[in-house]
Structure 1
Amino acid sequence: MKKFFHSSVIKILLLLIAVIIVCALYLSYKTYGNWAFALELRGKKLLAFVFVGIAATFSTISFQTMTQNHFLTPNILGLDSLYVFIQTLLFFFLGGQQLLGNETIATFLINVLLMVSASIILSRFLLKKGGNDLFLLLMIGIILGTFFNSISTFLQVVMDPNEYDLLQGKLFASFGNVNSQHLLIAGILIAFLAGFLWVKSHALDVLHLGNDQATSLGINVPRFQFVLLTVISALIGLSTALVGPVTFLGFIVANMSYQLMGTYKHRALFLGGSLLSILLLVFGQFLVEQVFQLNTTLSIVIEFGGGVYFVGKIISERKQRR
């Protein structure tokens, strides 16, 4: 036990050092002496990387523990599709120019509230009616995600081309146009929700053993699952409303954390995964800006890398089972 703890601490410290080095490189590279401008521009992005990385890590690891499946992510509940649906409706009926010109904290919180409320209502209704069948909830989430995508696609086809062009800027993850006011409120809420999962990490350690074992050890599994779904939905909602959908980030970071940390202890996984997520985001953005000269975006790099990693993991799992 002490050996595992010592190993985890060393790995977390090494990750922390790597994050500090990469962040310093990102903030200082090619500033040409204009530190104030560089810090203002890149510092805002850096904070977005930190908040999104923490939200993706805490939510995905908790969700995979709850579902007992390392291939699933919270996006299977259809939150990304719901975000696209909400944005499409707003642009279709209210107009992109008006929405983009009046982005306030209230509109940001309304977006988050709509996503979280829909997820909570769905979770509460289906878990209650389905006898707490979590996989029924996931299946309904996939169906609803397809439904939202279909309506969004229809509205985008009949939408004014200029409005559609403005909408596309909201539907892809963007770390360069983060609103500072949104960043502050999102950071506070993400810190609060991540803190809650940190406090409940021992209960998550027990839930990792299975629902029956968790019940026998005194955890009210249905209630705990509902609370987890609410917190996870809020984290994903905040992250998505802040920068846009980043589907594969949580999957990549969670599975790399399991392999790197070599433990089921959630506090070690949360810390290691968050640092790893920040490291990947900052280094990825550095490559996009300095190597690829902004000819691509970080979200495309993440989705491509995540897709390759997902296929590779499936192939690896099949070989191990043989």
Structure 2
Amino acid sequence: MHARRLIAMGAILALFAVLYMVLGAKGNWNFILPFRATKLAALLLVAVAVSTATVLFQTITQNRILTPSIMGFDALYVLILTVAVFVLGGQGLIRLPPLAVYGVNTVMLVLASLLLFGTLLAGARQDLMRMVLTGIIFGALFRSLTAFLQRMIDPNEYAVVQVSSYARFTQINTDLLLISTILTLLTLGFVWRMRHRLDVLALGPDMATGLGERPRRGQIEALILIAVLVSVSTALVGPIAFLGLLVVSLARLITPTAQHAVLLTSAALISCIVLVGGQMVSERVLFLAAPLSVVIDFIGGFVFLALLLKGTRR
């Protein structure tokens, strides 16, 4: 049953990818196809990275409503960006080599996310409400510091922060995309190798220990992989807060299973369908009137509230 649904989702994704490449294409195809192929590759890369990171995070936290974005990661990214503009200025940041900016953002996000998520897991993994509240407090702290710095910078420089605060797929640097692809594929390889261990970790620390798995080691390994995936995708295109929660919730609904081999594949396919199909509608139908990330965050916010209320009723 799961195999048929995965094949069907793969066919839908292939159809959307072809439509995205050729729909409304006018003019020089030698320019249009490579240009759209670069954006399509970025969409697929971000989709797989975000969905995989969300599945891993929900596995090690043993909760289906938590994601790295909800726990304050996106607010941390905007804070780092604001600090860079505050120190260097908007023009100074723009003049820096894109590869250098990408590298610094990725390294800082990885280190900060390891510190943030590691602290949350070590101190509150057995108390869901405490973990949620801690993540919300961290996010509020990051947003407050960001707002404070944004009031002190020049309005023209603030525009640089505002543009970069939303996921953007219209302009993708090919060199950065190549580096991101290599890092993501390497990380996904490690994730796929530990897929059976994730099945054991999802049973809880006591059951995992009884089955010969060391939970703490598995959590740390998964946390490193999460940090790399989320940091690379965020540094490449910007944050999409509720994408992971939305697609993983749909994956659990369409392919209900405890096997991570199926769940990871299903979530990745759904995430790719959502991003590619959504971007196609945004560009070809809405003519970029509304950013795709805003629409996804709007829908994902309702999904988060529905899951939270469902858990409260239980």
TM-score (norm 2): 0.93
Counterpart amino acid of residue 90 in structure 1: A
Q: 1:287 to 1:131 in 2, by over 3 A?
A: closer
Give distance in 2, aligned partners of 1:188 and 1:83: 22
Q: Does residue 227 of structure 2 align to residue 233 of structure 1?
A: yes
Residues 123 and 137 in structure 1, CA contact (< 8 A), matched pair in contact too: no
Give distance in 2, aligned partners of 1:33 and 1:147: 49
For residues 207-249 of structure 1, give each alpha carbon's deviation from its aligned partner in whole angstroms, at most 9, with x where no partner exists. 1112110111111111211121121111111111111110110
Counterpart amino acid of residue 39 in structure 1: L
> Please, what is the CA RMSD of the aligned residues?
2.0
For residues 53-112 of structure 1, give each alpha carbon's deviation from its aligned partner in whole angstroms, at most 9, with x where no partner exists. 111111101111111111111124422111111100111110111212323323211111
- Does 270-279 or 96-105 show the bigger shift? 96-105
Q: Does residue 5 of structure 2 align to residue 11 of structure 1?
A: yes
- Does 252-261 or 95-104 show the bigger shift? 95-104
Residues 79 and 237 in structure 1, CA contact (< 8 A), matched pair in contact too: no
CA drift at 1:43? 1.2
Residues 171 and 245 in structure 1, CA contact (< 8 A), matched pair in contact too: yes
Q: Does residue 171 of structure 2 align to residue 177 of structure 1?
A: yes
Give distance in 2, aligned partners of 1:37 and 1:291: 21
CA drift at 1:123? 4.8
Tell me the percent identity.
39
* Aligned-partner SS, 1:262: coil
| Paired position in structure 2 for 1:268 | 262
| Paired position in structure 2 for 1:80 | 74
Counterpart amino acid of residue 252 in structure 1: L
| Paired position in structure 2 for 1:51 | 45
Residues 49 and 278 in structure 1, CA contact (< 8 A), matched pair in contact too: yes
| Paired position in structure 1 for 2:35 | 41
| Paired position in structure 1 for 2:210 | 216
Give distance in 2, aligned partners of 1:42 and 1:271: 24
| Paired position in structure 1 for 2:300 | 306
Give distance in 2, aligned partners of 1:224 and 1:210: 11
Q: 1:289 to 1:156 in 2, by over 3 A?
A: same
2:239 corresponds to which of 242, 245, 258: 245
| Paired position in structure 2 for 1:62 | 56
Q: Does residue 282 of structure 2 align to residue 288 of structure 1?
A: yes
Give distance in 1, aligned partners of 2:25 and 2:12: 21
